[in-house]
Amino acid sequence: VAKEQGKRTFIVFSPEMNRRVAEYMWLDTNLRKGLEQNQLVVYYQPKISTHTGLACSVEALVRWDSPERGLIPPIQFISYAEESGLIGPLGLWVLQTAAKQAAKWQQQGLNIRIAVNISARQLVDDSVVNDLACVLEENQLTPCMLDFELTESSLIEDENRAHEVIGRLRALGAQVHLDDFGTGYSSLAQLARIPLDAIKLDKSFVRGVDLAPVSQSLIRAIVAAAEALQFRVIAEGVETESEDQFLNCVGVDEKQGFLFAQPMLPEEFEAWVQSYRPHHHQAEDDAGKG
């Protein structure tokens, strides 16, 4: 609120605005330093294939281990990074870290794909294509074990350019997934034009779906549309057995959520994947039917 009193201008900030400005300034002083001083950490959360019951891939999720505040979740710094331009170096660091991890796991005989989240900005300035080519080369990561998750907002700014970049990422062997599907504004017509491998249903649809007829109909419709367009469907945020069972029944291809595992450090994931035994999966049902 700006009040004009003669020549003097008073800017009155609400406590909320004050808090935001202070937070922005704190991030401005500390996040770049944190990145340079190696304080960022990548956690990995598995996705379970409905068809095999096994972990088929992991999502790379960044956190910031700040000496001042402890472990900070991405929701508290990604939008600052996007606004300030720091998302460029930050995103590259996540991609490099994921590529090294994938190569390390490959050498251990653990062949698991890693999906990296990318922001609209990284897609539009198209450095991501070159970055992918570089990390594949540096880590001798063949075949390409890296995939990308991008949000619908990435496609709005410049659709043609986004399509071109997606095509080039896929030409390098990466899969491209549309993240948080259902929370944005892409039309079916638009969806049909994008060269995608999968759509990732937002957790707001998945939450409580076993009890919500409207969400059930929506998910069935989305799965049918995805089938027609030849995209796979991945569900995020699966927390309960009955949500899981519903998703198996409607033909979702992969599932991710706290029911199976939280995001984990690499060593934790290695231990988890050794001991994970699916108790129920679609392949058993299919075998039973046939």
Give the binding site for Mg ion (CB under 5 A).
117, 149, 179-180, 236
H/E/C letters for each residue in 206-224?
HCCHHHCHHHHHHHHHHHH
Nearer to ligand C2E, 73 or 85 (CB): 73
Q: Which phi and psi (to 5°) does residue 161 adopt? A: -65, -45
Site for ligand C2E, rule CB under 6 A: 45, 61-62, 73-75, 78, 91, 94, 117-119, 149, 179-180, 203, 236-239, 256-258, 263
- What whole-number distance in Å separates Cα of residue 141 and Cα of residue 127? 19
Nearer to Mg ion, 149 or 253 (CB): 149
- CA separation, residue 7 to residues 1, 2, 4, 110, 177 (Å): 16, 12, 7, 69, 54
Residue 278 near which of ligand C2E, Mg ion, none (CB within 5-8 Å, type-dependent)? none
Element (H, E) at 235: strand 232-235
Q: 103, 110, 112, 173: which is closest to 141 by C-alpha?
A: 103
- Min. distance of Cβ 12 from ligand C2E in angstroms? 33
Q: 153, 90, 88: which is closest to 120 by C-alpha?
A: 153
- Min. distance of Cβ 198 from ligand C2E in angstroms? 13
Nearer to Mg ion, 50 or 117 (CB): 117
- Min. distance of Cβ 202 from ligand C2E in angstroms? 7
Residue 239 near which of ligand C2E, Mg ion, none (CB within 5-8 Å, type-dependent)? ligand C2E
- Min. distance of Cβ 236 from ligand C2E in angstroms? 5
Residue 73 near which of Mg ion, ligand C2E, none (CB within 5-8 Å, type-dependent)? ligand C2E
- Min. distance of Cβ 213 from ligand C2E in angstroms? 22
Residue 62 near which of Mg ion, ligand C2E, none (CB within 5-8 Å, type-dependent)? ligand C2E
Residue 61 near which of ligand C2E, Mg ion, none (CB within 5-8 Å, type-dependent)? ligand C2E
**How is residue 34 written in tokens?**
């944190």
| Number of residues that this document lists for the chain | 290
181 three-class SS: strand
Contact 204, 170 (CB under 8 A): no
- What whole-number distance in Å separates Cα of residue 266 and Cα of residue 35? 19
Residue 118 near which of ligand C2E, Mg ion, none (CB within 5-8 Å, type-dependent)? ligand C2E
Nearer to Mg ion, 202 or 244 (CB): 202
Residue 210 near which of Mg ion, ligand C2E, none (CB within 5-8 Å, type-dependent)? none
Nearer to ligand C2E, 53 or 237 (CB): 237
Burial 94-114 (b: 16+ CB within 10 A, else e): bbbbbbbbbbebbeeeeebbb
- Min. distance of Cβ 26 from Mg ion in angstroms? 25
- Min. distance of Cβ 229 from ligand C2E in angstroms? 21
With CB atoms as reference, the residue minimizing the distance to ligand C2E is: 257
Q: Can you say whether residue 173 is alpha, beta or left, with left for phi > 0 and alpha for psi between -120 and 50 degrees?
A: left
